[in-house]
Amino acid sequence: MVAIAVVWFPKKSLCHELETGLPAADVWKVYGSLLLAELIPQVLPTIAAKVEVAGDGGVGTILHVTFCPGIPLTYQKDKFIKVDHENLVKEAVVVEGTVLDLGFLKYLMRFEIVESADKTCLIRSTLEYEVADGDTNTASLASTATLAGLAEAITNHLKAQKSAGQTS
């Protein structure tokens, strides 16, 4: 007789929403493409030193993010597992890097561009993560602060471009 042990790790999530005042199509041009990877080191220069891309921006694309000195993370590789241009949703899961070395079993980032009735949109950034049952130390490290900072920085970048009369 073979015994099978099933270990369940509860999924937890954190969410941040930012009203942009911008059209959803403009925001999705960044979030739904590789332009986001290009802009990350520019708009978050104290967090991300560089982002290298392997892929065309669709499902399976890998972003290798190298963090700046002084950040408690060294690097991470994010794999796009969902890019939904119809519903304006992108998901990436960390497949390698410091965040997993810290004890996270799963670390997934979801970006949703949600159109409002007034034709502007909000950026909903969700972090889903799993840690070993009872691992409160690792769980306490989970935060949407960087995702929130990214949403704000991209919004400010797009507004600056718009006011300068440029297109993204």
Show which residues are catalytic.
90
Contacts 24+ apart (CB under 8 A), 56-64: 57/33, 57/83, 58/83, 59/83, 61/34, 62/95, 63/37, 63/92
Contact criterion met (CB below 8 Å) for 81 and 61: no
Size of the chain in residues: 168
**CB neighbours of residue 150 within 10 Å:** 25
What is the Cα–Cα distance from 133 to 43, expressed in whole angstroms? 36
Distance of CA 55 to the CA centre of its chain: 17
